[in-house]
Amino acid sequence: MRLYDRISAQLVGWRQRVSHLKEAHGAVKVSDITIEQLYGGIRGVAINVSDISYVDPQEGIRLRGFTVPEILTLLPKMKGAEMPMVGGLYHLLMANEIPTYEDALAVESEWIKRSTVPEHVFDVIRQLPHDAHPMTMFSMAILAMQPESVFAKKYNEGIPKTDYWKYYLEDSLTLTARLPVIGAFIYNHKYRQGQHIPLDPNLDWGANFAHMIGKGDDKEYQDLARLFFILHSDHESGNVSAHASHLVASALSDVYYACSAGMNGLAGPLHGLANQECLKWLLDLQDAFPDQPSCQQLEQYVWDYLDSGRVIPGYGHAVLRVTDPRFIAQLDYGKQHMPDDELFQLVTQVYECLPGILVKQGKIKNPFPNVDAINGALQYHYGIREFDFYTVLFGMGRILGLTAHAVWSRALGKPIDRPKSLTTRMLEEMVIKS
Ligand SMILES: CC(C)(COP(=O)(O)OP(=O)(O)OC[C@H]1O[C@@H](n2cnc3c(N)ncnc32)[C@H](O)[C@@H]1OP(=O)(O)O)[C@@H](O)C(=O)NCCC(=O)NCCS
pLDDT at residue 23 greater than cutoff 80: yes
Given 189, 317, 381, 405, which residue is catalytic?
Answer: 317
Residues, the chain, total? Answer: 434
- Look at the chain and report how many structural domains it folds into: 1
**Binding site membership of 105 for ligand 1 (Cβ less than 6 Å):** no
- Give me the CATH number covering residue 115: 1.10.580.10
Q: Is the dihedral of CA 70, 224, 180, 375 positive or negative?
A: positive
Residue 84 falls inside a structural domain? no
pLDDT at residue 155 greater than cutoff 80: yes
Q: Which amino acid is at 146?
A: Q
Weakest-pLDDT range from 85-99, 210-224, 231-245, 272-286: 272-286
In whole angstroms, how far apart are CA 313 and each of 146, 171, 279, 379?
A: 34, 34, 9, 17
pLDDT at residue 306 greater than cutoff 80: yes
196 given a catalytic annotation: no
| Mean pLDDT estimate for the chain | 96
- Confidence (pLDDT) at 72: 98
Q: What percent of the chain has pLDDT over 90?
A: 96
Residue 325 falls inside a structural domain? no
What is the distance, to the nearest Å, from the Cα of residue 387 to the centroid of all Cα atoms in its chain?
A: 17
Q: How far, in Å, is the centroid of ligand 1 from the Cα of 308?
A: 15
- Confidence (pLDDT) at 263: 98
**Binding site membership of 20 for ligand 1 (Cβ less than 6 Å):** no
**Binding site membership of 363 for ligand 1 (Cβ less than 6 Å):** yes
271 given a catalytic annotation: yes
3-state secondary structure the chain: CHHHHHHHHHHHHHHHHHHHHHHHHCCCCCCCCCHHHHHCCCCCCCCCCCCCEEEECCCEEEECCEEHHHHHHHCCCCCCCCCCCHHHHHHHHHHCCCCCHHHHHHHHHHHHHCCCCCHHHHHHHHHCCCCCCHHHHHHHHHHHCHHHCHHHHHHHHCCCHHHHHHHHHHHHHHHHHHHHHHHHHHHHHHHCCCCCCCCCCCCCHHHHHHHHHHHCCCHHHHHHHHHHHHHCCCCCCCCHHHHHHHHHHHCCCCHHHHHHHHHHHHCCCCCCCHHHHHHHHHHHHHHHCCCCCCHHHHHHHHHHHHHCCCCCCCECCCCCCCCCHHHHHHHHHHHHHCCCCHHHHHHHHHHHHHHHHHHHHCCCCCCCECCHHHHHHHHHHCCCCCHHHHHHHHHHHHHHHHHHHHHHHHHCCCCCCCCCCCCHHHHHHHHHHC
Q: How far, in Å, is the centroid of ligand 1 from the Cα of 182?
A: 32
Within 8 A by CB and 6+ apart from 420, the residues are none
In whole angstroms, how far apart are CA 33 and each of 42, 363, 410?
A: 8, 22, 27
pLDDT at residue 1 greater than cutoff 80: no
Q: Of the residues 365, 370, 394, 398, which should be mutated to test ligand 1's pocket, given the most ligand atoms within 8 Å of the CB?
A: 365
Each residue's pLDDT tens digit, 166-225: 999 999 999 999 999 999 999 999 999 999 999 999 999 999 999 999 999 999 999 999
Residue 366 falls inside a structural domain? no
Local confidence band at 299 (pLDDT 50, 70, 90 cut-offs): very high
pLDDT at residue 256 greater than cutoff 80: yes
Local confidence band at 290 (pLDDT 50, 70, 90 cut-offs): very high
Residue 354 falls inside a structural domain? no
- Confidence (pLDDT) at 255: 98
- Looking at ligand 1, which residue's alpha carbon is closest to its atom 18? 364
What is the distance, to the nearest Å, from the Cα of residue 414 to the centroid of all Cα atoms in its chain?
A: 22
Local confidence band at 61 (pLDDT 50, 70, 90 cut-offs): very high
- Looking at ligand 1, which residue's alpha carbon is closest to its atom 31? 363
Given 246, 372, 381, 405, which residue is catalytic?
Answer: 372
- Confidence (pLDDT) at 138: 98
pTM as predicted: 0.95
Local confidence band at 132 (pLDDT 50, 70, 90 cut-offs): very high
Local confidence band at 276 (pLDDT 50, 70, 90 cut-offs): confident
- Looking at ligand 1, which residue's alpha carbon is closest to its atom 44? 314
Residue 75 falls inside a structural domain? no
- Confidence (pLDDT) at 275: 86
Q: Which of 31, 64, 36 is nearest to 50 (CA)?
A: 64
- Looking at ligand 1, which residue's alpha carbon is closest to its atom 2? 317
Residue 342 falls inside a structural domain? no
- Confidence (pLDDT) at 253: 98
Structural domain that includes position 132: 106-269+393-411
- Looking at ligand 1, which residue's alpha carbon is closest to its atom 35? 363
Ligand 1 atom closest to residue 306's alpha carbon, by position in its atom list:
25
- Confidence (pLDDT) at 434: 87
Averaged over 297-318, what is the pLDDT?
93
**Binding site membership of 316 for ligand 1 (Cβ less than 6 Å):** yes
Residue 382 falls inside a structural domain? no
417 given a catalytic annotation: no
- Looking at ligand 1, which residue's alpha carbon is closest to its atom 25? 311
**Binding site membership of 359 for ligand 1 (Cβ less than 6 Å):** no
Averaged over 83-112, what is the pLDDT?
98
